[in-house]
Amino acid sequence: MRARGMTLVETLIALTVFVIITAALVTVLRGHLTMSGPLQMQADMIHDGRAALDIMLRELRHARSITSGERDSIQFIAYMPDGGPTPYPTVKYARRGRSLRRDYNGSGMQEVTLNVARVRFAYFNMEGNQVSPPITVANDQLVKRIEASISVTTADRRDTFHLTGSVVPRNIR
């Protein structure tokens, strides 16, 4: 018996099949990579917006009095017993340009998160009825719940996501 190798035709057929399979895999992987970039950008944007909203709601929970409550901004005095040298800091949240900004005790407006299309605040009394802004120290005792919402967009502004949360201020009497 004679040992027999592959002929040139068999080698070319095997090579052609290999090239076709490799090209198909490259096409699938390229499509996956093209798709995963925007999805990751959306996930990052939603994560950053949710983190900013959580920080804002946590501080609003400690509100002692609201000095200026509007539909698109809020300034309040918080009660922070473990807040260091200033147990009653003044905190302000507002949208400036395309970012949510926060001023903590007069330190200047610092950026909390980017790509913010809208910031809204709604104020509710004990019966659940909305209290119309402006909210000031004179009428802040009516406020028993604050609803905050942030609309964040992708950098290319194709997708917008709305994030909402509400909080009951502990220290407004």
Rounded Cα distance between 107 and 128, Å, is 34
* 105 is a domain residue: yes
Give the pLDDT confidence score for residue 83 in this predicted structure.
62
Q: How far apart are CA 124 and CA 132, in angstroms?
A: 9
Question: Does residue 36 lie within any of the structural domains?
Answer: yes
Q: What is the pLDDT of residue 32?
A: 76
Q: Give backbone dihedrals phi and psi of 42, rounded to 5 degrees, phi first.
A: -65, -45
Domain extent, residue 126, equals 8-167
Q: And the tokens for 33?
A: 């990579």
Does 172 map to a domain? no
Q: What backbone phi and psi angles, to 5 degrees, belong to 105?
A: 60, 40
Query: b vs e for 58-68, b when ≥16 Cβ sit within 10 Å of the residue's Cβ?
Result: ebbebbbbbbb
**Overall number of domains in the chain:** 1
User: Among the listed ranges 79-83, 94-98, 122-126, 136-140, which one has the minimum average pLDDT value?
Assistant: 79-83
pLDDT-based confidence at 52, cuts 50/70/90?
very high
pTM of the model: 0.76
Residue 55 falls inside a structural domain: yes
Q: How confident is the model at residue 3 (pLDDT cuts 50, 70, 90)?
A: low
Say if 122 falls within a structural domain.
yes
128 is a domain residue: yes
Banded model confidence at residue 120, pLDDT cuts 50, 70, 90 = very high
Q: What is the mean pLDDT of residues 157-162?
A: 87
Q: Would residue 1 count as lying in a domain?
A: no
DSSP state letter for 84:
T
Evaluate if residue 1 carries a pLDDT over 60: no
3 within a domain of the structure (yes/no): no
Percent of the chain with pLDDT over 70: 96
